[in-house]
């Protein structure tokens, strides 16, 4: 092997090794869950149970998923539990994101399948937000039991609203778990967040 070839390889390696590895640009997402509140009087035991709870969420690709259905029934990694009154920061690749909520109204049923079939639903892409490289985006999350809330059955399910705060500017809060005309019932949903029956 001639010296000129060895010299060329050595030069190429030294140039490659001296170049910085370009990492993907990231920004910070803050999931800021405000303390739980209620417009109705709650028994001490119920209030204690609710305030010890929190919201489970994870990021799947460019979708942030918040679930009120136990995460073991969701076909996605949901690693975060942010309790009411706490906040969690994570790094995400810069880009556009949407938020999807898996809601649940516990309407009864003698089995998990019946509870999910009757009361679970998907609110897809209820809001969007941008992660800017080197910047911080805050999701300001409030959870409230409302006086007129139809969720007041045997269970107390909060109405969860999210406001996006970017560059110090907050946007109008959006309810994410209300069941409405755009909600997709558990049995009708065929997207990637639900396990496919075998």
Sorted by sequence, the CB contacts under 8 Å of residue 21 that are 6+ apart come out as: none
Sorted by sequence, the CB contacts under 8 Å of residue 76 that are 6+ apart come out as: 58, 60, 65, 192, 193
Averaged pLDDT for residues 27-44: 89
Contact 107, 118 (CB under 8 A): yes
Averaged pLDDT for residues 150-170: 78
pLDDT at 168: 81
The string of pLDDT tens digits covering residues 7-24 is 444 444 444 444 444 468
pLDDT at 47: 80
The string of pLDDT tens digits covering residues 42-63 is 788 878 777 778 999 999 999 9
Confidence of residue 154 (pLDDT cuts 50, 70, 90): low
Q: How many CB atoms lie within 10 A of CB 43?
A: 9
pLDDT at 8: 44
């Amino acid at each position: 092997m001639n010296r000129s070839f060895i010299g060329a390889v050595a030069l190429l390696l030294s140039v490659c090794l001296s170049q910085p590895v370009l990492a993907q640009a990231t920004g910070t997402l803050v999931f800021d869950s405000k303390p739980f509140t209620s417009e109705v009087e709650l028994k001490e035991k119920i209030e204690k149970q609710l305030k010890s709870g929190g919201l489970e969420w994870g990021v799947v690709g460019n979708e942030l998923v918040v679930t009120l259905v136990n995460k073991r029934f969701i076909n996605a990694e949901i690693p975060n539990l942010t309790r009411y009154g706490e906040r969690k920061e994570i790094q995400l690749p810069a880009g556009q994101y949407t938020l999807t909520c898996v809601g649940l109204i516990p309407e009864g049923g003698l089995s998990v399948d019946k509870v999910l079939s009757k009361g679970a639903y998907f609110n897809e892409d209820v809001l969007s937000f941008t992660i800017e490289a080197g910047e911080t985006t805050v999701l300001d999350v409030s959870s409230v039991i409302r006086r007129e809330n139809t969720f007041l059955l045997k269970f107390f399910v909060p109405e969860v609203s999210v406001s996006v705060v970017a560059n110090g500017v907050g946007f109008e809060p959006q309810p994410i778990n209300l069941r409405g005309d755009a909600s997709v019932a558990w049995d009708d949903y065929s997207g990637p967040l639900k396990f496919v029956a075998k």
